[in-house]
Every structure is written in structure tokens, then in C-alpha cells.
Amino acid sequence: MSLQSSTIESLPTVEAELNYLTPTTERPRNYASNPPPGVPRSNTTAEPHTLPIHDLRPVAVAASLDEQGFAVVTRRSDVHDFHDEDEIRRIYYPETEALVKRATGADRVLIFDHVLRRHIPGAEDRREDVRQPARRVHVDHTARSGPQRVRDLLPDDAEALLRGRVQIINLWRPIRGPVQDAPLAVCDASSVAPGDLVPSDLVYPERTGETYSVTYNPAHRWFYLREMETDEALLLKCYDSRTDSRARFAPHTAFRDPTAPGDAPPRESIEVRTLVFHLG
């Protein structure tokens, strides 16, 4: 089974609004924390488009990190409380490392970050406090910031590691299921043109990172895994140093599912960000 056009057209869909970047001549900029007085948190505006989002569940086994830029894995976690930082680092980190190694065949996996998200209607997303589902189409890293992340975290080994293949892969899992509120949509990387990806500044108090904002292209193919359970997870490729025909960047975003019941429990999820090294 593969994700060919004929297969995709037969999948169930939901029509939902996704927030793209409104094209601009100014370099996009977003502050990760409170901006300086008088400076807006972002200099961008959203361009919403209502699009079909295909239910990946009937063909989940066909999704591939190297073809679509995402994949589905099933593995129950032994973590009992995802709000316990010690349990996350002691149990979930090793689970994630083993899962990513198995999925990619990597020689080494380094977990460098994790984020818990909880949908609180009406609340503002704040990195130092409540992280809301991200509701704009984006990619976490770029062709420039991917290698820079390696240099920042592993300065002594970076140049040797960068001579091999390097990927940045996120593992996204609901910690409350089934997910009906603010599910995650992922875009088939093979349907994304290089010009759709716009380097954007993400300004922290101590540094400025770079992500991709994404402009609309009608060729984009979107997917989600309907009603994800807590033993299911999505692998998302946010960077790949290989520049052949493999997927390098998979845009993604949370969205409002108009078919979800009004009393759907607020989405809660965890994403773990990993550096993936192939040394051969």
C-alpha cells in the first residue's frame, strides 16, 4: 500500500481552515516571549484557507518519513503522569530514543527538548507558562537552523557529526485520547515546493532561532490521524541534511475540526524533539 493520488482521493476528509502566512516583503518575525514595549509579538498576519484534510488512518502504515516526511507509530508508554517532569525524562526520553532509532535506523539519537501543550480556550500561548496548540502552518527548523542546532548543542562533535546525515525528528503524542479537539494536521512534504517555505525569525531573550513559515499552495496535501489515542504517535521530520529526493521538511499545524463534538475534551499532547545522526 502506498500514498498514491488514487489512494488519497478515496480517503475520508474533513474540510477545515488552516492558517498560512500572508505573503510579505518583510522578513517574518515572532517573539517567543514578551516583546519589547511597543513592539508587536509578530509582524505577520495569517491567511486562512479552507482545505480538505485526509484521514490517514486507513493507510497509516504507508506513510513514510523519507517520502511524506511523517510516519505513524504505535507504542504504549509506561509513563503514568506526563505532568511529572521526572517521569518524562526518566521513562519517556529512553522510550522515545529507542522508538526513533528503530524507525530511522540511526546510530545516535539526542533528545534536546520537549513541550507539553494543553488547549485552554481564550488563553494566550506563552512559552514560559501555558503552551497552546500551534495554529499556524510551520516547520520547526530550516536548512540553516538545523545544522546550527547541532553546533549549539554539541560544539565539540558538531563538524564530525555534520559530515554524516543529520535529521531533526519530532515525536508527537496525545496524552489524552481520543483527540477530537485541535488535532494535528501534517502536510505531505513531497507536495511542498521550496518557494512555499519562508525563513522566519523566532526571537528568544538569549538568541534568535529560525523556522519556516509557509505560504499557501493548492498542491499541498494534508492529513491527520482521526481520533488519535494515547498509544499512537506521529513522527514529524523537521530537517534532513540529505538533499536528494527524500522529504526534508514536513509542515504541520493544529486545526479546528468542525465535526468534533462541542463538549470534546481539550487536547493535551507532548512533543519530543530529537537530533538523529547517521554516522556511516
Tell whether the model's pLDDT for residue 125 goes beyond 70.
no
What phi and psi values does residue 58 have, to the nearest 5 degrees?
A: -65, -20
Count of H helices and E strands in the chain? 5, 14
Q: Which residue has the cell 529560525?
A: 210
Contact by Cβ (8 Å): 52, 13: yes
Question: For position 127, what pLDDT does the model report?
Answer: 58
Distance CA 237, CA 184 (A): 14
Tens of pLDDT, residue by residue over 157-172, are 999 999 999 999 999 9
pLDDT tens string 23-43: 999 999 999 888 999 999 999
For 188, residues 6+ apart whose C-beta sits below 8 A from its C-beta are 3, 68, 69, 220, 221, 222, 223, 250
Half-sphere exposure of 54 (CA within 13 A, CB side): 20
Give percent of the chain above pLDDT 70. Answer: 96
Using a pLDDT cut of 90, give the percent of the chain over it.
Answer: 89
The secondary element (H helix, E strand) that includes residue 161 is: helix 158-161
Residue 59 has pLDDT above 50, yes or no: yes
pLDDT digits (tens, 9 = 90+) for 191-215: 999 999 999 999 998 899 999 999 9
Tell me the longest C-alpha to C-alpha distance in the chain: 54
Q: Which three cell numbers stand for residue 280?
A: 556511516
Cell 511524506, located at residue: 68
C-alpha cell at 229: 489515542
Give the integer Cα–Cα distance in Å for 206 and 46. Answer: 27
Instruction: Flag the least confident range among 67-71, 106-110, 202-206, 246-250.
Output: 202-206
Write the secondary structure of 106-128 as one string of H (helix), E (strand) and C (coil). Answer: CCEEEEEEEEEEECCCCCCCCCC
pLDDT digits (tens, 9 = 90+) for 143-152: 999 999 999 9
129, pLDDT greater than 70 = no
Q: In this structure, which CATH number among 2.40.160, 2.40.33, 2.60.40, 2.60.120 belongs to the domain 5-278? A: 2.60.120
3-state helix, strand, coil in the chain (%, to 5): 20, 35, 50
Alpha-carbon distance of 220 to 248, in angstroms, equals 15
Task: Quote the mean pLDDT of the chain.
Answer: 94
Cell 558538531, residue?
158
pLDDT score for 99: 98
Query: Is 246's pLDDT higher than 50?
Result: yes
Q: What is the pLDDT of residue 2?
A: 56
Burial category of 73 from C-beta neighbours within 10 Å (exposed 0-12, middle 13-18, buried 19 and up): middle
Distance CA 85, CA 91 (A): 10
Q: What is the pLDDT of residue 32?
A: 85
Whether residue 6 is predicted with pLDDT greater than 70 in this model: the reply is no
d(C-alpha 199, C-alpha 27), whole Å: 8
pLDDT at residue 223, rounded to an integer = 98
What's the pLDDT tens digit per position in 271-280?
A: 999 999 999 7
- pLDDT tens figures, 74-109: 999 999 999 999 999 999 999 999 999 999 999 999
**What pLDDT was estimated at residue 1?**
46
